[in-house]
Amino acid sequence: MTGNKVKDTVHMTHDIIHRNDGIPFDAGLLDGIRVNKSAVERRAATIGTRRSVKKEYQAAWLLKAISCIDLTTLSGDDTPGNVLRLCAKARNPIRMDLMEALDIQGMGLTTGAVCVYHNLIPYAVEALKGTNIPVAAVSTGFPAGQIALSEKLREIKMSVAAGAKEIDIVISRALVLKSDWKGLYDEIKACREACGEAHMKTILATGEIPTLTKVAKASMVAMMAGSDFIKTSTGKESVNATLPVTLVMVRMIRQYQELTGYKVGYKPAGGISKAKDALNYLIMMKEELGNDWLRPELFRFGASSLLGDIERQLEHFVTGRYSASYRHPMA
């Protein structure tokens, strides 16, 4: 495989993205939203069956996936040492011998971001100094979101002050369950204002939303309120990212872009641990939204163990042999 083919896939030429400023709340935009669950599931089931990405093309797409990973550690036993190791892996996501075999050692490949809890932001910021890798922080009472709005806004401002360039907020699920769309809009808009220059990813916790129609409406409200990304899950729910939910959310992104001209990003999170799964999500983004969304500015995986499996698959491409999974730890 030539290095040029890989580099062309990872570094596609794209238009400049103008940040989503949001629009005034419009209940009329929600009235016509209805989701046919059976049709969505049928469409989602075709992803990965109609297209087959093999050999050097698969390797190139997996490198693209690496550039879109929010490399994440959100465990109760996180320590500064864990975060430092995570950041080292974000800076050098695959082994040098594999990069040399792929002829990509000069392309500056990194993950899209590193995502941590608020108290560990300073360690991540220091470890990533001199790179363009942003630190993302979960906020607003993650993962349940069951704190007062004033506390949510205070958390956001503290994380931004500590150096986070991206804030992953969680919504109050009760607002969705009650169909209080104006209340949801006001909450997310206040969070966006608290973020300032930091980009905001709004986590819907779709595994706790009972219908795809409500997922679609919550997605639209989040974008109306100025979200830079909409994200499926905290990774702590019993059901996290799925292809049917992804299809619903990305079609709302397309509808919002057609309505306003703003391109909003998408982040599936939780349970995406295999390279094959990553390819399916990338294929869906390409088919539904086009090549513009195949970049970290508009697409991220929220993942911890995914990188290890991608590195394992790349080693198989280079050597023709599968190594044990434990030889490819995340960090």
Summarised one tens digit per residue, pLDDT across range 118-160 is 999 999 999 999 999 999 999 999 999 999 999 999 999 999 9
Active-site residue list: 168, 231, 267
Yes or no: say if 226 and 39 are a contact pair by the CB < 8 Å rule. no
Confidence of residue 13 (pLDDT cuts 50, 70, 90): low
Residue 80: which H helix or E strand, with range? helix 80-91
Would residue 20 count as lying in a domain? no
Residue 228 inside a domain? The answer is: yes
What is the 3-state composition of the chain as percent helix, strand, coil, each rounded to the nearest 5? Answer: 50, 10, 40
Return the pLDDT at 1.
43
List pLDDT tens digits, range 14-42.
678 899 999 999 999 999 999 999 999 99
How many C-beta atoms surround the C-beta of residue 237 within 10 A? 20
Where do runs of H (alpha helix) occur along 103-202? Answer: 121-127, 149-162, 173-177, 181-195
pLDDT at residue 16 in the model: 84
pLDDT band at residue 102 under the 50/70/90 scheme:
very high
The answer to whether residue 218 scores a pLDDT higher than 70 is: yes
Q: What is the pLDDT of residues 43-91, one digit of tens each?
A: 999 998 876 788 899 999 999 999 999 999 999 999 999 999 999 999 9
> Tokens 């991206």 — which residue?
166
Band of residue 244 on the pLDDT scale cut at 50, 70, 90: very high
Residue 229 has pLDDT above 50, yes or no: yes
Q: Are 107 and 132 in contact (CB under 8 A)?
A: no
- The residues near 103 (Cβ < 8 Å, ≥ 6 apart) are 1, 2, 3, 6
Can you give the CATH number for the domain in which 230 is found?
A: 3.20.20.70
| Residue 233 domain flag | yes
* pLDDT at 12 (0 to 100): 59
Q: Is residue 17 part of a domain?
A: no
202 belongs to a structural domain: yes
Query: CA 107 from chain center: how many Å?
Result: 22
Q: In whole angstroms, how large is the CA radius of gyration of the chain?
A: 19
pLDDT level of residue 315 (50, 70, 90 thresholds): very high
Residue 73, domain member (yes or no) = yes
Give yes or no for a contact between 23 and 183, defined as CB atoms under 8 angstroms apart: no
Judge whether 160 lies within some domain. Answer: yes
| Residue 169: domain span | 3-12+25-327
User: In the prediction, which pLDDT does 323 show?
Assistant: 81
Question: What are 58's two structure tokens?
Answer: 């698969």
Full-model pTM: 0.94
Q: Please give the DSSP secondary-structure letter assigned to residue 331.
A: -
- The domain total for the chain is 1
* pLDDT of the residue at 266: 98
Mean pLDDT of 156-177: 98
Question: Does a structural domain hold residue 19?
Answer: no
Q: Which pair of structure tokens corresponds to residue 277?
A: 């799964």
